[in-house]
Amino acid sequence: MFLENIKHSTGRKGWIEVVCGSMFSGKTEELIRRLKRAQFAKQKVEIFKPQIDTRYHEEKVVSHQGNEIHSTPVPASSNILLLANDVDVVGIDEAQFFDMELVNVCNQLADSGVRVIVAGLDMDFKGKPFGPMPSLLAVAEYVTKVHAICMHCGSLAHISHRTSKETSLVLLGETDSYEPLCRDCYNAANK
C-alpha cells in the first residue's frame, strides 16, 4: 500500500511515518521520493534537517546517490513548529541528531493534520538506540526499516559500523568513517 494514496473520509488527518535503518540503506532516498510525490500532488511540503548536517549541502537534503530536495536547516526541533506553517507534509531528515523534543514536535504536527515523514538512523555505531528515534518508532503509525548490504559478507546490513577510532557519539562521515555490517560481521569486527 502506498501511504500517499490513503484517503480519509472525515477531514484532514495527520500521521507520522518513520524510515529507519543503517547508513547507506536508502533512508534519505526514500524520504526524498515520498516528499517529491507529495509535491507532485500539489501538496504544500516543508523539509527540515539538523543544522549540523552540512556533509553534502548547507540547505539541501541530499542522498548518497545524489538526489536532493531543498530543506531548512534548524538548530533544534522546536524551530520546526515555528517554521511549518500551513503545510500538508513535513519531512525531517537525520532525526537521530535532533533533541528528544522532536517526538512532541512530530506528535503536535500530526495532531494538527500534518503528514510527518521522518528519516534517521535507528541505532548508533555501537548498535544502541539513537536519540529520539526509538520514541518516534513507538508513536509512528507507519514504520519502514530499510537495509544496506554488509560490506564484509553481502548479507542484509543493519548496523553502521564505525571504521575510525573516534569515540564521540556524533561523527558526521561517509564511507571514510562508516561501513554497513550485518549482525555476525559487526560482532566479529568488535571482538
Contact by Cβ (8 Å): 59, 70 = yes
Residue 3 forms part of a structural domain: no
Q: What is the pLDDT of residue 75?
A: 94
CA nearest neighbour of 3 among 11, 15, 178? 15
Residue 29 forms part of a structural domain: yes
Residue 1 forms part of a structural domain: no
DSSP code per residue over 78-122: HHHHHH--S-SEEEE--GGGS-TTHHHHHHHHHHTT-EEEEEEES
Residue 6 forms part of a structural domain: no
Residue 182 forms part of a structural domain: no
CATH of the domain at 113: 3.40.50.300
Q: What is the pLDDT of residue 170?
A: 67
Catalytic residue chosen out of the listed positions 29, 94, 101, 179:
94
Residue 77 forms part of a structural domain: yes
CA nearest neighbour of 30 among 3, 8, 56, 7? 3
Distances in whole angstroms, Cα of residue 190 to Cα of each of 1, 130, 155: 39, 19, 18
Domain that holds residue 32: 11-147
Task: Indicate if 94 belongs to the active site.
Answer: yes
Residue 160 forms part of a structural domain: no
pLDDT averaged over 10-residue windows placed end to end, the chain, 191 residues: 41 91 93 95 95 66 69 94 94 96 98 97 94 97 97 95 77 72 95 87
User: What is the model's pTM?
Assistant: 0.86
3-class SS at 72? strand
Environment class of residue 3 by beta-carbon count within 10 Å: exposed (0-12), middle (13-18) or buried (19+)? middle
Q: What is the pLDDT of residue 69?
A: 78
State how many domains the chain has. 1
Q: What is the pLDDT of residue 1?
A: 38
Q: What is the pLDDT of residue 12?
A: 75
Close Cβ partners of 123 (under 8 Å, ≥ 6 residues apart): 22, 129, 130, 158, 159, 160
Bridge-partner residues for 131, per DSSP? none
Residue 4 forms part of a structural domain: no
